Every structure is written in C-alpha cells, then in structure tokens.
Amino acid sequence: MDNTSHRLHQTSNRQEGIRASNKAKQYFEQVAKSHAYIANVRRDFLQKTTTDISRKYYRIRIEDLNISGMMKNEKLSEAISTLGLYEFRRMLTYKEAFYGTKVELVDRWIPSSKTCSKCGSVQSMTLSERVYICGAGCGHKMCRDLNAAINLNNAPNHKIRAASAKLTPTDRLGADSPGRSRKQTPKSSGYAI
C-alpha cells in the first residue's frame, strides 16, 4: 500500500468512526514529540542569539524583508518558513526595553546586497552568487552578506524606521513593544549589522 492510499485509508477510517490502533497512537505521539523538540530547539536558539546581540550592541539594524513574497518562491519557501525570521525580529524588539537597545528597520526595497558598498553602483545578482564583485569598474570584491550589512549600516535616514513588535494594518508588524524596565548594563559602542 503506497503512502497516498494509506493516508486515504486513515482518513476514511476516522470519518467512519473507527478508532486508531495503539500502534497508531504511539506513532502520532512520537511524531508530536519530535515536532515539539524541534520547535523548542529553534526557540532556544532564537532566545540565546537575540539576547546575545541585545547585550552586545546598542543599535541593531535589520532589513524589513518581504517574507510573504519569499514564501511564494517554491525553492525558498520551506527554508524561509523554518528560519523564524519574524520571531527573530519580534524577540529583538521586545528585548529593547530590557537591554536599552534601539532596533531599526531598513526599508525592504533598498537593494542592499546588489549595491556596491564602495562606489554605490547597483547591479543584478542571482541568489546563488555569494561573492559580490562590482561590475562598475571599482573592482570591489567582498562576501555578499558582509557587503549587504555595510549597506544597511550606511542606509539613508529616510529609509529607516523604528522596529515594533505588534501587528499593524500597514505592514502587519506595528506599534511599540510592551516595556518593563530593568537595570541597564554598559554596552559596546559598536553596531550590530
């Protein structure tokens, strides 16, 4: 019996009111436990990473990504959905009150990874290209992600806004996070990019 017909058989049994066997119950419990374990590992990683970033840096700039648009790409959708990018942003934002950080969003339409951080020329690049090589003649060669981070740090002020944790109608990510004050610790004067 192939997987599709097995699923159809399970569905019809459930619809007919036939109870699941003990083996089936054990299997579904095992699957639920493994999914819960993976979710807990992801949540733990995000908590530790955002706490570490918030403790080290005062100003944190992140790119306002078009996640719903990225999810439409069949090749990227599974990888994007498992990353928890919105949760990462939400955690950074609510930790502003705890650590005294300032989380800023850079406009999603700035071509940060396609712009030369040295001369400012914009060129098209595929996602598979991981090294930025300026085609305008300045000869700048750099890791694509580092180049994008430099461009985000140097973004013009009119393309930057404060991050927030709650949903709004405009970008579904709006107002200020609920704040509880906490004793502030000294920070590095560097920037997280």
Read out DSSP for 110-168? S-TTTB-TTT--B----TT--EEE-SSSS--EEEHHHHHHHHHHT--GGGEEE--SS--
One-letter amino acid for residue 20 of the chain: A
Q: For residue 11, count CB atoms less than 10 angstroms from its CB and return exposed for 0-12, middle for 13-18, buried for 19 or more.
A: exposed
The overall average pLDDT reported for the chain is 80
At residue 4, the pLDDT reads: 55
Question: Among 3-17, 113-127, 137-151, whose mean pLDDT is lowest?
Answer: 3-17
Which of 16-25, 120-129, 144-153 is the most confident on average? 144-153
- Does pLDDT of 185 surpass 90? no
At residue 79, the pLDDT reads: 84
What's the pLDDT band for 76 if we cut at 50, 70, 90? confident
The values of phi and psi at residue 158, to 5°, are -75, -10
Task: Sort residue 181 into left (φ over 0), alpha (ψ -120 to 50) or beta.
Answer: beta
> For 153-173, what is each residue's pLDDT tens digit?
999 999 988 887 665 544 443
> 102 - beta bridge partners?
59
What's the pLDDT band for 187 if we cut at 50, 70, 90? very low
At residue 106, the pLDDT reads: 92
Top-confidence residue, 34 or 9 = 34
> In terms of Cα–Cα distance, which of 150, 157, 143 is closest to 120?
150
User: How many CB atoms are closer than 10 A to CB 180?
Assistant: 8
User: How many CB atoms are closer than 10 A to CB 187?
Assistant: 15
Strand order in the sheet with 102-106: 160-162, 102-106, 57-63, 188-192
> In terms of Cα–Cα distance, which of 114, 111, 91, 115 is closest to 103?
91
At residue 68, the pLDDT reads: 81
Domain locations along the chain: 21-103+176-193
Q: State the average pLDDT over residues 70-76.
A: 84
At residue 10, the pLDDT reads: 54
Instruction: Provide the 8-state DSSP code for 38.
Output: H
Please calculate the CA angle 188-164-99 and round it to the nearest 5 degrees. 30
User: How many CB atoms are closer than 10 A to CB 102?
Assistant: 12
Percent of the chain at pLDDT > 90 equals: 43
CA distance 155 to 150: 9
CA distance 40 to 46: 10
